[in-house]
Amino acid sequence: MSRRTDRRGALRTLAAGAALGLGACSRTDGSQVRPDASGARALTHAEGLELPWSLAFLPDGGALVTERPGRLRRLEPDGRLRPRPITGVPAVLNEGQGGLLDVALDPAFASNRLVYLSYAEAGSGPEAGRNGTSVARGRLAADHSRLDDLQVIFRQPKVGGSAHFGSRLVFGRDGTLFVTLGERFRYREQAQDLGSLLGKVVRIRPDGSIPADNPYVGRAGMRAEIYSHGHRNVQGAALHPQTGELWTHEHGPQGGDELNIVRPGRNYGWPAITFGQEYGSGLPIGEGSSKPGIEPPLIWWTPSIAPCGMAFGTGTKLPAAWRGSLFIGALAGKALWRVGLKGNEVAGREALFTDLGERIRDVRQGPDGALYLLTDNQKGRVLRVQI
């Protein structure tokens, strides 16, 4: 479904996608899966991980992997997992959807060795019993055994609950850092409040300071960190390889998972505008599915696939027809979704590897040309997708 303000335009885009041979249906019933035709396989690259959440490749071909209970692990280039976790990570709240979440390398990692982590942080003192998404950075030791000089650079105000931490980290081409922040489930109305950091994408400098060109800098009652608002729970984010724009997806409540292009100062609707419904009752939420001044999604999924992790596939080890597509993991849907693109328009979509029966937590383009997936499991794996 495309970025248009009415459903008729969306249906036209879906029809075009079907003509290109990509499945237009949003259901993960396996009818759209053609892994044999593509020639791609999902191979085990690493195993022995507990609830892996995110992966970042290192210059030597190895990787850092976060485990939600609070561990940062080193993977060797051949997929061997070092037995001892990296020390020096921040204390995390491992509760509900919280824990140690995303990991990203500084754009100048080769010279400064800085690693960024997002995580659920428990409150203390007056904030005891509350929690929120925080971001810290530390310097990875030369032997990859520890993080030194750990510094918290961002904290979301703490509230009650254990859901919707968001938490993806993406560096823009200008060196600023995007952080996706959930609305913490109970507090959805604050996603529309520009004085709140719930349900937002924020943009900060690597040291946590605020860029002067953020859209709400200097505006009374508005948080200067905010880049966009009206988000529910963004758990997938990536830069478009040609345009450099930030693309995100977010969980809908009961249906209405969305794919968006995030632009400064834009409102993405939650909870006023959504294709989702209230849990259990199925009653509508907000004012409908479109409204002037609110950005419609590029596509949405109903029923929900619970999207998590996202990468643009540009690697040489992917089937030629897949290159330039967007790949999205699905938790409830237990699949890897391929979204075909023509510029900023969606040409169609299909669910892949449904036979694995795995919740896909993260998706990354590897430096070797393959695509890498993390499985959300107590015995989690890193899968390598290639022809």
User: What end-to-end distance do the CA atoms of the chain give, in Å?
Assistant: 29
CA 170 from centre of chain: 9
Cα(278)–Cα(344) distance, rounded to whole angstroms? 30
Give pLDDT, residue 19. 33
Cα(88)–Cα(111) distance, rounded to whole angstroms? 20
126-160: b (≥16 Cβ within 10 Å) or e = eeeebbbbbbbbbbbeeebebbeeeeebbbbbbbe
- Where does residue 269 rank: exposed (0-12), middle (13-18), buried (19+ CB within 10 A)? buried
Cα(372)–Cα(267) distance, rounded to whole angstroms? 32
pLDDT for 8 beyond 50: no
pLDDT for 3 beyond 60: no
Choosing from 164, 229, 231, 251, the catalytic residue is 164
Name residue 140's beta-bridge partners.
147
Are 143 and 167 a contacting pair, CB within 8 Å?
no
Give pLDDT, residue 38. 82
Question: What amino acid is encoded at 186 in this protein?
Answer: R
pLDDT for 56 beyond 50: yes
Query: 3-state DSSP call for residue 183?
Result: coil
**144 a catalytic residue:** no
Mean pLDDT calculated for residue range 201-210: 98
Give pLDDT, residue 9. 38
Domains, the chain, in order of start with CATH, read 7-386 (2.120.10.30)
Q: What percent of the chain has pLDDT over 90?
A: 90
**Strand ranges for 130-256 from DSSP E:** 131-140, 147-155, 169-171, 177-181, 200-204, 226-229, 234-239, 246-250
As given in the structure block, the two tokens for residue 46 are 């690493």
pLDDT tens sequence across 13-54: 333 343 333 433 333 332 233 343 589 999 999 999 999 999
pLDDT tens sequence across 329-353: 999 999 999 999 999 999 999 999 9
pLDDT for 223 beyond 60: yes
Give pLDDT, residue 37. 59
Give pLDDT, residue 11. 33
What string of DSSP letters covers 11-78? HHHHHHHHHTT-------SSTT--HHHHT-EEEEEEEEESSEEEEEE-TTS-EEEEETTTEEEEE-TT
pTM for the whole structure: 0.92
pLDDT for 233 beyond 70: yes
Q: What percent of the chain has pLDDT over 70?
A: 90
Task: Determine which of 4-8, 141-145, 157-161 has the lowest per-residue pLDDT on average.
Answer: 4-8
Give pLDDT, residue 151. 98
pLDDT for 203 beyond 60: yes
pLDDT for 253 beyond 90: yes
Are 309 and 382 a contacting pair, CB within 8 Å?
no
What string of DSSP letters covers 244-267? --EEEEE--SSS-EEEEEE-TT-B
pLDDT tens sequence across 273-308: 999 999 999 999 999 999 999 999 999 999 999 999
Q: What is the mean pLDDT of the chain?
A: 92
Name residue 364's beta-bridge partners.
372
